[in-house]
Structure 1
Amino acid sequence: MLYWFLKWVAIGPLLRVIFRPKAYGVDHVPAEGPAILASNHLSYADWLFMPLTLPRRVTFVAKAEYFTTPGIKGWFQKKFFSGAGQVPIDRSGADAAEGAMKSAMKILAAGELFGIYPEGTRSHDGKLYRGKTGVARLALESGAPVIPCAVVGTDVVAPTGKVFGQWTRPVVRFGPPLDFSRYEGMSNDRYILRSITDEIMYEVMRLSEQEYVDMYASKAKELTKAAKEPVEPSDATSSAKKAS
């Protein structure tokens, strides 16, 4: 109930009036039953604008800390994230990735929509990066169709590293459902998982019109950060300078 209050009474109308987001291909999202919404990830605002364009609830997984912080602040934080369609990662698994998978399976088993960012992290430069195979494994183990989608313009509204950006009209595009039932029972085959993930990312690229980079976003961020760091002179260089 709180979700609908936040979406339609509090956050939704405000975002609609200010930003007037446009949506295309909404009819590709099933009116009922489970589906995986695989999206690009340009901004922390993506999880607000994409679900706003749909009549159904879209659930994402979030860090468990958002739901376990003590005190009044923790209580409001938990209510906000719960109401906005977020659920904590199931910590009963061996690691965060396994916990996220368990949480996602519960959501899909309940016949709901599950949102996922296959890149694993926000793009730091507006490009689309290689998807992680968790989305493929989730599709095979749940049997749910994958709806590729793209959110455009949120990196202008809420750029990475900034609280506020500039006004623009975000666009959300949904593609036709992708059915991977032909690979049923092959969720442990890493080549199949990679093939499925690449097919999903190709459709996301087509919808978002982003430049694609065949590298994980986390690795690209590390390389960008390293390139910006000052280079310490080598011992040989230092010795040469002293000699001169």
Structure 2
Amino acid sequence: MASVLYGLLHSVVPPLAKAVWRPEVVGLENVPRSGPVLLASNHLSFVDSVVIPIVVPRSVTFLAKEEYFTGTGVRGAISRSWFEGLGMLPVDREDTRAAMTSLDTALRVLGEGGAFGIYPEGTRSRDGRLYRGRTGVAHLALSAGAPVVPVGLTGTDRLQPVGSRLPRLARVRVAFGEPIDPAGRYDGVPSGRARRLLTDEVMRAVAGLSGQEQAGTYNDRAPDA
């Protein structure tokens, strides 16, 4: 059912959104058309998880709050169909094992040859700076043997500012960098060190694409919604 919804939504939403938002897309040729791949992006707005799948010509799986899938009535059905149709999967953020569950879900998607979207910062930036990446992205890349395509988003914070329920008209830029393939690069390097090195490389690439100042610290502030 989800694949049918994805097909229907992807045939309608991307052309419509592109016509309205007119996003500038750079480096799309860097996204492999098949096989496992991680799209590691900066995170400025809730709508980031909609913008990236709209411009990528293959299904990209992101995780979304479980509440979006559990509503009742007509509104709940619409919400569930929308997020499922966009290829999103639910995660219970209140579960203490949510982080591990998220990694397991991502590994499953990658193991099936899919594309998985991830925000190494962990949560949205409130001040426009790029925060230090958490090493989950490297863990996934090294475990699955999947390349990482860095993504730099610009303007999505104006497209849907924090607290806004609906997107607005704003120019958006989506830049995809060259894939970073970890295969064979960290042989003999302790696993923790390898994850840190790879994550930092990914974040430097994201910073170059987005033009953001690097904060140098983790973003520990929880998003409002």
**What amino acid sits opposite 1:8 in the alignment?**
S
What is the Cα deviation at residue 193 of structure 1?
A: 1.2
The 2-side partners of 1:97 and 1:4 are apart by: 29
Report SS of the residue matched to 2:8: helix
1:186–1:139 distance in 2 versus 1, CA, 3 Å: farther
Amino acid at match of 1:2: L
Q: State the partner residue of 1:4.
A: 7
Q: 1:204 aligns with which of 203, 206, 213?
A: 206
Higher helix share: 1
| Partner Cα separation in structure 2 for residue 186 and residue 197 of structure 1 | 17
Deviation of the 1:188 alpha carbon: 7.3
Q: Report what 1:82 is aligned to.
A: 84
State the TM-score, normalized to the length of structure 2: 0.88
Structure 1 residue 14, shift from structure 2 partner: 2.6
CA 216–74 in structure 1, closer or farther in 2 if over 3 Å, else same: same
Give the conservation status (yes or no) of the 8 Å contact 2:43–2:123. Answer: yes
Give the structure 2 partner of residue 193 of structure 1.
195
State which of 63, 66, 69 in structure 2 corresponds to 1:64.
66
Higher relative contact order, chain-length normalized (CA < 8 Å, sep 6+): 2
> Within 2, Cα distance between the matches of 1:145 and 1:77?
32
Query: Residues 42 and 123 of structure 1 are in contact (CA less than 8 Å); yes or no, is this contact kept in structure 2?
Result: yes
1:3 alignment partner AA: Y
- The whole-number CA distance in structure 1 between the counterparts of 2:203 and 2:62 is 19
Two-structure CA RMSD over aligned residues (Å): 2.4
Please list every run of 5 or more consecutive structure 1 residues that lacks an aligned counterpart in the other structure: 223-244
Q: When the two structures are aligned, how many residues end up with a matched partner? A: 219
SS of the counterpart of 1:218? coil
Question: Would you say 1:159 and 2:150 are equivalent positions?
Answer: no
Identity percentage of aligned residues: 44
Q: Which has the higher mean CA deviation after the structures are superposed, 71-80 or 183-192?
A: 183-192
**1:144 aligns to what?**
146
Residues 140, 184 of structure 1: 8 Å contact kept: no
Give the conservation status (yes or no) of the 8 Å contact 1:88–1:103.
no
Equivalent residues of 1:26, 1:54 under 8 A apart: yes
What letter matches 1:21 in structure 2?
P
Change in CA separation of 1:66 and 1:14 when aligned onto 2, cut-off 3 Å: same
- The answer to whether the 8 A contact 2:53-2:86 is kept is no
Task: Decide whether the 8 Å contact of 1:137 with 1:187 is kept in 2.
Answer: no
Q: Give the Cα–Cα distance (whole angstroms) in 1 for the partners of residues 19 and 172 of structure 2.
A: 12
Q: Which structure 1 residue ranges, 4+ long, deviate > 4 Å from structure 2?
A: 183-188
**Deviation per residue, 1:23-72 (Å, 9 max, x gap):** 11111111111100000011111111112112111111122333234444
Deviation string 1:49-100 (CA, Å, 9 cap, x unpaired) is 1121121111111223332344443333221111012012389x96111000
1:216 aligns with 2:218: yes
1:12 deviates by: 2.1
